[in-house]
Structure 1
Amino acid sequence: MSVSPFRARWSLDPNIRFLNHGSFGACPTEVLQAQSELRARLEAEPVRFFVREYEAMLDEARVALAAFVGADADNLAFVPNATAGVNTVLRALRFEPGDELLTTNHEYNASRNALDWASSRWGAKVVVAKLPWPHPTPAAIVEAVLAHVTPRTRLVLLDHISSQTALVLPIQELARKLRERGVETLVDGAHGPGQVPLSLRELDVGYYTGNCHKWMCAPKSVAFLHVRRDLQAPLKPLSVSHGHNSTRKDRSHFRLDFDWTGTSDPTPALCVPHALRVMGGMLPGGWPALMADNRDKVLAARRMLCERLGVEPHCPEEMVGAMATVGLPDGFPLQPPPPFFLDPLQDRLFHEWRIEVPVTAWPQAPQRHLRLSAQLYNTHTEYQTLAEALEALLR
């Protein structure tokens, strides 16, 4: 199969056409090597590493991350993943019976479960705004969400980029209009950082959590939680530790609480600066060129697949990042209910064609679509092979 010259920078299986960067990311071998060296350094003298060196290294990683996401480093905390970030916020907030927690029908299942748990704990109510789909527009999405805001709305949980539909929501406009109504926003930005440009200062939401292991290509088990300064006091990490009663005055309690939550492997967070340098150095134009290249590639793949399958694009190009969905036409046989995360068609594409691409029944079966991802290691030929496989299965 046609191989991108960038593919050698990753350790991906050479026999698989990997069109699913969005699910778990993929870490370049240079970054994995840096992580291995950090782990060796840790194990050579754990006390020196954790007690004498770790804090300064973590500060350096936070500063690099802050520059990339357009934030004040003091407002950032490292967490294991975006789901942990969502849970951290929801477990810290207090609600009253009858309060309303607003989200959309595109919200990621794990985060929606956390919202349901929080609402049941306090006797609050989860309100779901149904977004127009297919053929949404930014204005229609803003209207759909705001239509469900009431005097009892206390928090709005929004995906930055929907996992199910790859839809880039108009987060900045939504957050501004929600603030005008006195409502804070928690953004589940699992797919945001590294896929689309991001400035948390300009976004100015109350809470934003994003993964570093997906589109930033850091090792697994690192994400960040950004909390606006005026909202930090009541927040605690999921594991309360030594920072809670610290008398230090050289840093905020927010940082003292989150920087040490017990012994864990800190190397994924410490590798964030290296991942940013490695990925940002792959194209002459740096990160802006990388994000533009990925977006152009997935839009071209979407156009080609829609034409070959005779379907219409689900959303306008302005609402696409480095992922895109393509609807599956009638003709694919109905299958038994799929197991968790794995549609039978996805399994056939993998085993018969060596293609890894997610197939999602959304909003509900029998409606299904593919979700394409584009990373530097992907080529247009891989998407053409996917089209050929789908045409063969339809026949």
Structure 2
Amino acid sequence: MRDRVSDFKLSTSDFAKFWLLEPDVTFLNHGSFGACPIPVLEAQQQFRQQLERQPLKFYREFEALLDAAKNQLGEFVGADASDLVFVPNATTGINAVLRSLSFRPGDELLTTSQEYNACRNVLNFVAEKTGAKVVVAEVPFPIDGPEQVIEAVIECVSPQTKLALLDHITSQTGLIFPIRELVKELKERGIDTLVDGAHAPGMVNLNLREIGATYYTGNCHKWLCAPKGAAFLYVRRDRQFLIRPMTISHGANSYRTDKSRFQLEFDWMGTDDPSAYLCVPEAIKFMGSLLPGGWSELRARNRAMVLEARKLLSEVLDVAPPCPEEMIGALAVVCLPDDVSEFEKTRTIPPIQDMLWSRFKIEVPVIYWPGYPKQLLRVSAQIYNKTEDYEHLAEVLPELFKEYDAI
């Protein structure tokens, strides 16, 4: 296993060689599924080989390995390891919380108009089962500043509000919500918060103690660059007795007293490949070794890159940036002209995104938001990206829209 970046003997321009991404593809969509670097994949393969060579020995040692991974993750996200459990993805974390809690007819579940669709579906499901009501705070977009998010959410609070499901960083629009202020305002009103932090770990400097949410879930496979299938769920200690995993297994009646039931149930939900969880420390270590300033410099570099990309694309398309720079991390969107094609329910991606891929091998999402025919183009910035990637996109976009008769 390669220990540090220096072992690769590569220059700053060669960061892409740490990844398996196809070199002829302009990959500007790290935000959707992340991309795991080669050294972390090598570490995962070692764990998998250990598992297959001697399964019983591996699982005898597994709990200590898992605890060590949680300890290092806890240091990275600013939380006690005893308050964290691993889950396969943030959506699973949202499901575990919402489907563990009890609601009654008349209770209100608060969220925003920018909540991620999968998680909003969980909220809808729970409301339908329990008779609770989903209340949606309309967050404007374009937006002038983070105070508008706070105003929109607080205006929708009522005496019936029992829980607020909030994004930390929105998927469709790439906005960093003022999550600490939101949690504080809601806590003062006696309302628990469930934060969907899918994009936060690795993109922003995350400190769960300072945020103070009741529940928080985040992905490790996105900006942390761990293997797919690694995420975490944080539950405040006084609420851990309420939260059960989606799969009930041996931990439900364990006689052990050295760990909480919260830990015992989530740590073992049946035989699975846990290598993605165990590689989280390797991902933290490797990504933090890429630049002299470690994770702080990496986050700053990615943010500067995506802001540069947003400025370039806004100028080419002659559109105004839809939010202030303070609300941007490593994701940014620009508004595109409306889609002039006939909407088809069987379509999986907008025509412009399809053409960018099929003709130019540019992998970048175009999102119907808040719905067809409105379109947003969302770019990501990770260390393997370079300025030329965004210049290539900026060069071909106007040509495509002229052909497409969208402007």
Q: Is the 8 A contact 2:139 2:152 kept in 1?
A: yes
Q: Which amino acid aligns with 1:248?
A: R
**What displacement does 1:345 show?**
1.1
Point out where structure 2 has 5 or more consecutive residues left out of the alignment. 1-11, 403-407
State yes or no: 1:190 paired with 2:194: no
Question: Of the candidates 364, 369, 372, which is equivalent to residue 365 of structure 1?
Answer: 372
What CA distance in whole angstroms lies between the structure 2 residues aligned with 1:79 and 1:183? Answer: 25
Q: Is the 8 A contact 1:311 1:329 kept in 2?
A: no
Give the 5 Å matches for 1:282-293: 282-293=290-301
Aligned residue in 2 for 1:380: 387
Identity of matched residues, %: 55
What CA distance in whole angstroms lies between the structure 1 residues aligned with 2:350 and 2:101? Answer: 36
TM-score if structure 2 supplies the norm length?
0.94
State yes or no: 1:179 paired with 2:176: no
**What displacement does 1:337 show?**
3.1
Q: Which amino acid aligns with 1:348?
A: M
**What displacement does 1:383 show?**
0.5
Aligned residues: CA RMSD: 1.2
State yes or no: 1:131 paired with 2:154: no
**What displacement does 1:136 show?**
3.4
State yes or no: 1:259 paired with 2:267: yes
Q: Which amino acid aligns with 2:108?
A: E
What CA distance in whole angstroms lies between the structure 2 residues aligned with 1:114 and 1:221? Answer: 19
Q: Which amino acid aligns with 1:29?
A: I
State yes or no: 1:67 paired with 2:79: no
Question: Of the candidates 82, 95, 103, which is equivalent to residue 90 of structure 2?
Answer: 82
What CA distance in whole angstroms lies between the structure 2 residues aligned with 1:244 and 1:336? Answer: 48
Question: Of the candidates 5, 10, 20, which is equivalent to residue 11 of structure 1?
Answer: 20
Q: Is the 8 A contact 1:338 1:344 kept in 2?
A: no
Aligned residue in 2 for 1:33: 42
What CA distance in whole angstroms lies between the structure 1 residues aligned with 2:351 and 2:271? Answer: 40
Q: Which amino acid aligns with 1:357?
A: V
Instruction: Give a deviation string over 1:179-217, Cα, whole Å, max 9, x none.
Output: 000000000111111011110000010000000000000
What CA distance in whole angstroms lies between the structure 2 residues aligned with 1:17 and 1:229? Answer: 44
Point out where structure 1 has 5 or more consecutive residues left out of the alignment. none
Q: Is the 8 A contact 2:340 2:373 kept in 1?
A: no
Q: Which amino acid aligns with 2:378?
A: R
**What displacement does 1:335 show?**
4.5
Change (3 A) 1:11 1:338: farther
Question: Of the candidates 217, 226, 230, which is equivalent to residue 209 of structure 1?
Answer: 217
State yes or no: 1:309 paired with 2:354: no
Aligned residue in 2 for 1:223: 231
Give the 5 Å matches for 1:219-368: 219-329=227-337, 333-337=340-344, 339=346, 341-368=348-375
State yes or no: 1:92 paired with 2:97: no
Change (3 A) 1:366 1:91: same
Instruction: Give a deviation string over 1:77-124, Cα, whole Å, max 9, x none.
Output: 000100000000001000110100010110001000000000111100
| Secondary structure of the structure 1 residue equivalent to 2:367 | strand
Q: Which amino acid aligns with 1:88?
A: A
| Secondary structure of the structure 1 residue equivalent to 2:241 | coil
Q: Which moved more, 1:361-370 or 1:112-121?
A: 361-370
What CA distance in whole angstroms lies between the structure 2 residues aligned with 1:339 and 1:224? Answer: 34
Aligned residue in 1 for 2:154: 146
Instruction: Give a deviation string over 1:264-317, Cα, whole Å, max 9, x none.
Output: 000000000001001000011011110000000000000011011100001000
Q: Is the 8 A contact 2:225 2:283 kept in 1?
A: yes
**What displacement does 1:340 show?**
6.2
Instruction: Give a deviation string over 1:246-268, Cα, whole Å, max 9, x none.
Output: 11111111111111110000000
| Secondary structure of the structure 2 residue equivalent to 1:92 | coil
What CA distance in whole angstroms lies between the structure 2 residues aligned with 1:96 and 1:249? Answer: 33
For these two proteins, the number of residue pairs brought into alignment is: 391
Change (3 A) 1:340 1:67: farther
What CA distance in whole angstroms lies between the structure 1 residues aligned with 2:23 and 2:63? Answer: 39
TM-score if structure 1 supplies the norm length?
0.97
Question: Of the candidates 127, 152, 166, which is equivalent to residue 158 of structure 1?
Answer: 166
Change (3 A) 1:29 1:222: same
Aligned residue in 1 for 2:176: 168
Q: Which amino acid aligns with 1:43?
A: E
Q: Which amino acid aligns with 1:346?
A: Q
4+ residue runs over 6 A deviation: none
Q: Which amino acid aligns with 1:379?
A: K
What CA distance in whole angstroms lies between the structure 1 residues aligned with 2:347 and 2:240? Answer: 36
Change (3 A) 1:26 1:335: farther
Aligned residue in 2 for 1:108: 116
**What displacement does 1:150 show?**
0.1
| Secondary structure of the structure 1 residue equivalent to 2:216 | strand
Question: Of the candidates 52, 55, 59, which is equivalent to residue 46 of structure 1?
Answer: 55
| Secondary structure of the structure 1 residue equivalent to 2:376 | strand
Change (3 A) 1:339 1:188: farther
What CA distance in whole angstroms lies between the structure 2 residues aligned with 1:41 and 1:239? Answer: 26
Q: Is the 8 A contact 2:219 2:230 kept in 1?
A: yes
Q: Which amino acid aligns with 1:386?
A: L
**What displacement does 1:357 show?**
0.2
Question: Of the candidates 1, 19, 29, which is equivalent to residue 20 of structure 1?
Answer: 29
What CA distance in whole angstroms lies between the structure 1 residues aligned with 2:18 and 2:115? Answer: 33
Q: Is the 8 A contact 1:22 1:373 kept in 2?
A: yes
